[in-house]
Amino acid sequence: MPSPFSNLLAPSAFPELRERLLRAGMAPRHVRRYLSDLEDHLADLTTEEQTHGLSPAAAHTAALARLGTPDTLAAAALAQPGARSLTARAPWAVFSVTPLALLAAVWLFSLCLLRLGWQIFLPHAVTPFGHGPLHFTDAQNIYFQLNRSLYLGAPILAGWCMLLIAARQRLNALWPLLSLAILAVLAATSQVQANREAIPSGLGHISVDFAIRPAAQNEYALVVFLLALAPYVLWKLQTHRTYSA
């Protein structure tokens, strides 16, 4: 089964240039476009040199020389204003604000689903969290369990997104680890409250509270952190193997 990060190691005719540009902060989509154009140009130059009588190998070497050295090509790309990605320019902002925004979005969606399920399946229940003799049919149970999985998995999903961003940009591991730490703490300290009697109209009220909880929550934070980190570690190992081979 291919790694979800396998496209980050996609073969290129200019692997050194690709890595250099990504590490210098050039946006991955700009790097991809640049390398694609260079590969096309190299193919045209090689064909041209072959029409002048050079062997394929000699034509390829001559074409590379005409294209420019990696230093020249990298300098030309990095000199352009707007070439550097926001991730490279302000990693502290991207890796602190984006995970919060992602987590908030998924949690909000999940809480909306909870509210919807509460209204549809348990219209008379004081809370959707199993107080009282609630008898879920299979469909109801599946609905609420899937939604619970979405809520609990949101920090991990958000963490994977942040790791993917960091891996694409070849960033120092410090930044995605910061994101994972934030997400793990939020996951461990949050608790959803839902009660129909909380407000007089009886419409029901759902909220998320954050508080330091017993030591078990520390273990939960660690589990979230490690689950989110696992794909990144696998990718680093794969990268190491690829470049060691």
Partner 1 sequence: MPARDTNPNFMNGVPELLILSLLQQAEMYGYELVQTIRDRTGSSIALGEGVVYPVLHNLERDGALTAQRKPINGRSRIYYSLTPTGARRLSDLTTTWTTLTTTIQTLLTETGAPHAQSVL
Judged by the rule CB under 8 A, the positions of this chain that interact with partner 1 are 30, 33-34, 37-38, 40-41, 44-45, 61-62, 65-69, 72-73, 75-77, 79-83
Query: Two tokens at 103?
Result: 């987590």
- Please check whether residue 35 is in contact with residue 18, taking contact to mean a CB–CB distance below 8 angstroms: yes
> Cα–Cα distances in Å, from 227 out to 7, 79, 156, 157, 165?
21, 39, 7, 10, 17
Name which of 67 and 188 has its Cβ closer to partner 1: 67
- Shortest approach of partner 1 to residue 76 CB, angstroms? 4
Name which of 69 and 191 has its Cβ closer to partner 1: 69
- Shortest approach of partner 1 to residue 87 CB, angstroms? 17
- Shortest approach of partner 1 to residue 53 CB, angstroms? 15
Name which of 72 and 145 has its Cβ closer to partner 1: 72
Name which of 1 and 79 has its Cβ closer to partner 1: 79
- Shortest approach of partner 1 to residue 66 CB, angstroms? 5
- Shortest approach of partner 1 to residue 28 CB, angstroms? 14
Name which of 67 and 167 has its Cβ closer to partner 1: 67
Name which of 58 and 181 has its Cβ closer to partner 1: 58
- Shortest approach of partner 1 to residue 176 CB, angstroms? 28
Q: Report d(CA 103, CA 40) in Å as an integer.
A: 41
List, in sequence order, every residue forming a beta bridge with 245; answer none if it has no partner. Answer: none
